[in-house]
Amino acid sequence: MLLALVHLCWLQLRPESELRRFWAETTESNARRAAMMEQDPSGRIAGQAAAGNVLLELAGYAKTNPVVEGSLCFIYYRTTYVLYPRRIYAAPADQVINNGRDIMRIGFCPNQQWLQEHDVRSVLTFGDNNNGKTLRLEILPPRDGQAVMQTNKSGGN
């Protein structure tokens, strides 16, 4: 028992241990924090997006390249979490999304009426250059009658 306990203490002191990782995380520099913020742009997107919901659109390379599935999935999950109760739409509500591949397969491209009905005020474009990783947020111009349109901030069909 003592051997097991001593071994665990030794494991935690090794450079690659979880404890060391924890220590590095808690004492990390502001520069590293800023770099991590850059990796997770969801907070920035939520801040910059207009008051309504957001449409996630794929462009160029990102429509087909399986290499970006992971980062697409992260952007969708993370932005969904950060934006709530606003929504980011990547498909109609009856389409199943379990991973980035599903978003690519659906290739959602709604018309103006749909955007209006779902109070979409910004479009987040993922992958609009050759490396397929760039994010671009575009605020849609106000539509006629938007001021009186009923908003649907908590999502729905």
15 binds other proteins (CB under 8 A): no
- Smaller CB separation from other proteins, 4 or 147: 4
Instruction: Tell me whether residue 78 or residue 133 sits nearer to other proteins (CB atom).
Output: 78
Q: Is 37 in the site for other proteins (CB under 8 A)?
A: no
Residues touching other proteins, count (CB under 8 A) = 41
**Which three-class secondary structure state does DSSP give residue 143?**
coil
Q: Is 122 in the site for other proteins (CB under 8 A)?
A: no
Q: Does the protein bind other proteins through residue 123 (CB under 8 A)?
A: no
| Site map (CB under 8 A) of other proteins, residues 67-106, x = contact | ------xx--xx-xx--xx---xxxxxxxxxxx-------
The CA distances from residue 96 to 49, 109, 128, in Å, are: 25, 16, 24
Helices (H), ranges, the chain: 2-13, 18-27, 30-39, 42-48, 69-83, 100-106, 112-117
Q: Residue 103 in contact with residue 97, Cβ under 8 Å?
A: yes
Strand bridging mode 120-126 / 53-58: parallel
CB nearer to other proteins: give 66 or 142: 66
The verdict on 26 binding other proteins (CB under 8 A) reads yes
